[in-house]
Structure 1
Amino acid sequence: MELRQLTTERERRIFSERMEEARAKKGARFRETQRSKIGKIHLEYGLLYGLFEHDDDPPEQMMSGFLMHDLASFPQSYPRPDLSHLPARSVMEGGELWSFAKGAGLLAQHGSIILVGLMQVHAVLVYPTFKPCDQSVPYARANFVNAGDPFVWPYCETTDGGKIWVQPMVLEGEALAELLHAVFARGFATSDSMRRIQFDNPFPIQPTLSRPAIPIGQRLAAVESAAAHGHEVNGDAQA
């Protein structure tokens, strides 16, 4: 498997098109509000990554993708929680996870954890949906902690115009260190100044990624299954 950073205008456009197509096929139940520009900002200035089965696959064949940004590049999507006690470049916000094949989201999550370690990130911030459906449970099982009370997400709404509540959550400290140790122990390789990360499929699933199974430790499984069991309103489509 290869996780590849997407840097050109064409690659970013394909990422956006694949993301929208994946969401449509999976029946996404949320949308960005008409006034919001947060999605455009993330797509234009965030770090975009696509997952490929082979290192020579063209951008059109990416199976899943996500984006993230550190808080030194541009601010977190919402001012809560307050993470100003940490160096801005060491805090990473993640979102916009999507996938075409069941199981591809898990593999993208695995690659994202490798990136977090390589970038020496101290904390990972996510905004899983709390209402109308609670998608925070998988993150809690992975030792993400609630970083304040839920609040109405101002940038997205349900497809019928309803409010979406999110639960800000953070993974840091010992919990993050243990997760990184588990993932790094499986091994990987980097190339092109760490813009490409190659790793063996850590899950015994079919080549078509049709039936995932996760026979690994509970903590790692919980983190990587967060993408498979729900979605974050700052972009995540079901994996």
Structure 2
Amino acid sequence: MVEKIENKRLFHVTRELPYSIHPTLSVGDTISAFDEYNPFFAFYERPRTYGVHLEDGTTRQVPAMHWIDCVAKGLVQSPNALTAAQETAKHFQMLSRELLMEIIRLEEASDAPSRQTCLWLADSVEKAQYWHNRLGGTGRILEVEATGNMHTVDASLLFADADALSDIIRRARLYWRGQASASPEMEILFFRHGYRCRRRHAVMWFTAHMTASWTFVLRSTLRDFCQVQRCDHGRQGPCL
């Protein structure tokens, strides 16, 4: 169920993402973001290619599926072919997942924040720590005060393999209805209204002041973390 919130204190994990056009949040920054896709979904605006070394010494970037087809036919030799195939499979797996999730969102909860444009939040620092460990990489946990629309959902319902289409759709409907599985991984999708960050008790918090975009003005961070683990989906693509 979509909840309208005002000045609600929540937590956000900001991470260094090599594919993001937006810098990580740093003290003193003012950033306008998410006018269109968030950094997670904007990843799919970039074509996936692999290099092929030509006889003249140059390298040509080849679309991933064509590259894999050339490897299968023996036209391209690469010791990393299996890794590239796995990366490409995960790329299209996650893209198809997000496209399907958006279709089901419009059917089940059209007023809920879209996964393509939302900001992910947690309702406690412990849950934010869980997601930081789950996603891996270098990042920080920020405490925020947000005004807008939020929807609490269970990320464990997202499909992560070649499941039956009927089961994928069933799980997607449960996700957007806000239902939880036996072993939930709860996440908050947030959208609408920007927020401004200023110092309070040496932590980070936001106050809404958005018109058409979300604006961040960073004053302080709650906690810094080192790299914890490798991203579940590898370093070439976005994570949950």
Q: Which has the higher contact order (CA 8 A, sep 6+)?
A: 2
Task: Provide the TM-score with structure 1 as the length reference.
Answer: 0.31
